[in-house]
Amino acid sequence: MRLSLVPMENRLRHLILVLVTVIFSALGRADDAAPTPVNSLAASTTPTLPDAWGQLHESMVADAKARADKIQIVLLGDSITRRWTTGAGKPIYEKRYAPLGAINLGISSDGTQHVLWRLQHGVLDALHPKMVLLLIGTNNLSEEPEAVAYGVWSIVNQIRTTHPETRVLVEAIFPRTVLPNFVSKGTGPATTGPASYGPKIPLVNQLLAKLDDGKMVRFIDFGAKFLKSDGSFDYDNFPDGTHPEKPGPFEIWADSVQPFVDEWLKEPPIPNVPPPPCPVAVPTDLVSSTPDSRNDWLLRFKRQQTVAAQSGSCDLLFLGGMTMGLWDKLNPAFQKEYGAYKALNFGSTGSRTESILWELQNGGMDGLKPKLVVVQMQDNILDDTPVENVVAGMKAISQSIMQKLPGSKILLLGDFPVGTSPNDPMRQKIADYNEQLAKLADNKSVYFLDVGRSFIHPDGTLDPTPQPQPFAPAAFDHWADAQRDTITSLMK
C-alpha cells in the first residue's frame, strides 16, 4: 500500500487556488519561456539541456522574417516591454500597435549586452521599421550609471548604423524598488533594493537624455507619471516594485509616446543623420556593452553544482520545475521546515523531466548522498504533453536517481489540482497523471504522495481566491503540512 495522507478538513483548503494562482501567474510571467515542446515520448525522456532564451530569440527572428513587409514599429527591451504582449498591456497593444504593424522584441531579464547580442544575430536583419521604441537598462543597474548609459548608447549606435532609415525613441528607465518579500535567496536590499537602484536611475536617465539629436533619435522620460501624487512608489500598479501589472500604466505609457508614433508614421526619415555621439567616456567595466547570449538554466545548473560541492552533506533533496522552485522565494519558511534535514532545493523555473535527466547525467547531484529525494513535475503536465509521456519521464528520473544516488529513497509528489470544478479538463488530466504516477511506487525505494488532495473540498471544488502577489506563504505552509508526516516517516 502506498503512503497516503489523511485529508485536513479544516486546514487552509481555501488557499489551493492561491497556490495555483502562484503557478499560473509565474507561468504567465515566464515571458521568455520556450515554445511548447514536441509531444513525442522522447521530449519527456531524453536528457536535454534547455535554452529557453535562445529558442525565444530564434522564434523572434523567424517572426520578423515572416512579417518583415508589415512591421513599422519595433518594441525592444526586457520584461517590462515583454508585458506589452504577455501581460496587462496586451489589450492595449492589440488596439493601438498591432493594427499599425508592430513586433515585440522584449525578453525578460535582458540587459543591454543581451539586446546587443540579439541585434548582432539577426533579430532586426529582415526588418526596415520606421521606429524602434527602446526601453532597456533596468537589469544593468548593478553597474555604474556611465556603464549602463554606454550600453544603451551601444544599442542605439548599432540600430542607427544598420538601419539608418529607422528612428529610435530612447525611453527613460522606469522608477523601481523591491519589496522585502520579493527579494530572492542570497540577495538583499543592499544589492537589489532602493538603496542601490533608486539613486542610479535619474543619473542614468540624465546621461540617456544626451542621446537626443532632435532628428532621428529622441529621448522621453515619463516615469514620474507612474508615481503617486505624493511622489511615492505605486505598488498597486507595480506590485513587485518593477513591473507594471495593470492596464493603467500601459495606457500612460502609450499616451506618452503617441506623439512620436503619430509623427514618425507619416514623416519620412531624415537622410544622412549619423548615430549620436556617446554621452560618456568608455567605461572600465564593459559588461553592459559586450554582446552576450544567455542560458539562464545552464547558469543555474552551474550554481547548483557549486552548492552541491560546498554543502558537505544533504539528507533531503528536492527536484522539480517552477512550482518547486518557488520555495526559494520563501527560503526562511523552507529552512524552518526542512533545515534540520540539511535540505537543498534544486527545483527551478525552466526545469522539466528531460532537463532533470540531463542534470542527473551531467553531475548535477554528484557528491550528494541524500536519504530522500522528493520530485514533483507540474510544468510538463500543464502544457499539452500527454500524461503517459510525463509519467515515462518521471520513471526515467526515478531510475536515474537510483543509479546515481544509490541508497536514496524517492518520493514522487502528485500534481496540484487546478480549476474550480472537478469537471475541469486540466483537473481531470492531473487526476489521471497522479493515478498513473502512483503506479511507479514500490514502497521500498519509490513512494508516492498525492500532495494536492487535501486542498480539494469534499464536493470537489476549489475556492476562487485571486491573489495579486506572486508568492502566497500560507499556501506553501499548507503544502508543507500536507507532506510533513510522509517526509518525517521516510527520513526515519
Q: Is the dihedral of CA 245, 93, 82, 229 positive or negative?
A: negative
Positions of CATH 3.40.50.1110 in the chain: 13-49+295-491, 52-289
Q: Are 279 and 210 in contact (CB under 8 A)?
A: yes
Please tell me the CATH superfamily of domain 52-289, with its number: SGNH hydrolase (3.40.50.1110)
394/381 Cα distance (integer angstroms): 11
Task: Give which of 132, 134, 240 is closest to 193, Cα–Cα.
Answer: 240
Q: What percent of the chain has pLDDT over 90?
A: 63
Stronger pLDDT, 43 or 71, i.e. the higher one: 71
Looking at residue 419, what is its pLDDT?
72
pLDDT in tens, 265-283: 999 999 999 999 999 999 9
The owner of cell 519527456 is 44
Looking at residue 40, what is its pLDDT?
66
The owner of cell 510571467 is 29
Task: Give which of 412, 324, 325 is closest to 373, Cα–Cα.
Answer: 412
Stronger pLDDT, 214 or 188, i.e. the higher one: 214
Model-wide pTM > 0.85: no
CATH dotted code for 13-49+295-491: 3.40.50.1110
145/345 Cα distance (integer angstroms): 35
pLDDT in tens, 310-341: 777 899 999 998 888 888 878 888 999 999 99
Stronger pLDDT, 24 or 384, i.e. the higher one: 384
Which stretches does DSSP call E strand in 91-228? 102-106, 131-135, 167-171, 217-220
The owner of cell 548593478 is 142
